[in-house]
Amino acid sequence: MGLIIPDIGETALLEEILGTGYTLRLFSNDVLSGLDSAGIEALTISDFTEATFPGYAAAALGSGSWTVTAGDPATGRYPTQTFTRSTTGSSQDIYGYHVTRDSDGELVWFEVFQGGSPVAVAAGGDAIDVTPILTMADNGGVAVTIGEIKTWPTGSTPANHLVCDGSAVSRTTYAALFDLIGTTFGIGDGSTTFNLPDMSWRDPDASRESNTKISATGSSDFSGSVSPAFSTDGPSIVLPVGEWLVRCVGYWDYTITSAGTFTGRLHNTTDATNLDSSALNSGSVLTGRFDMTMGGTIEVTSGTKTIQPQFSEDSSVVGTSTVASIYLEASSVTQADDYMALSYVIRAL
More confident residue, 214 or 107: 107
Distance CA 174, CA 161 (A): 10
- What pLDDT, on the 0 to 100 scale, is given for residue 30? 92
Confidence category of residue 176, pLDDT binned at 50, 70, 90: confident
pLDDT digits (tens, 9 = 90+) for 297-334: 898 999 999 999 888 877 776 666 666 678 788 887 65
Confidence category of residue 142, pLDDT binned at 50, 70, 90: very low
End-to-end CA distance of the chain: 23
Q: What is the 3-state secondary structure (H, E, C) of 62-115?
A: CHHHCEEECCCCEEEECCCEEEECCCCCCCEEECEEEEEECCCCCEEEEEECHH
Topology of domain 210-333, CATH? Jelly Rolls (2.60.120)
pLDDT exceeds cutoff 80 at 229: no
pLDDT exceeds cutoff 60 at 144: no
pLDDT digits (tens, 9 = 90+) for 247-289: 888 777 777 777 777 788 899 999 999 998 888 776 666 777 7
Between 75-84, 123-132, 276-285, the lowest mean confidence (pLDDT) is in 276-285
Domain extent listing, the chain: 7-140, 210-333
Distance CA 231, CA 224 (A): 9
Confidence category of residue 175, pLDDT binned at 50, 70, 90: confident
Bridge partner list, 237: 307
pLDDT exceeds cutoff 70 at 339: no
- Mean pLDDT, the chain, integer: 81
CA-based radius of gyration for the chain: 24
**Residue at 43: amino acid letter:** L
Q: What is the 3-state secondary structure (H, E, C) of 35-55?
A: CCHHHHHCCCHHHCCECCCCC
More confident residue, 304 or 9: 304
pLDDT exceeds cutoff 60 at 139: no
Confidence category of residue 2, pLDDT binned at 50, 70, 90: low
Q: What percent of the chain has pLDDT over 70?
A: 84
Strands, sheet with 242-258, edge to edge from the N-terminal-most edge strand: 210-221, 318-333, 242-258, 287-300
**Residue 110: which of 56, 41, 174 has the closest Cα?**
41
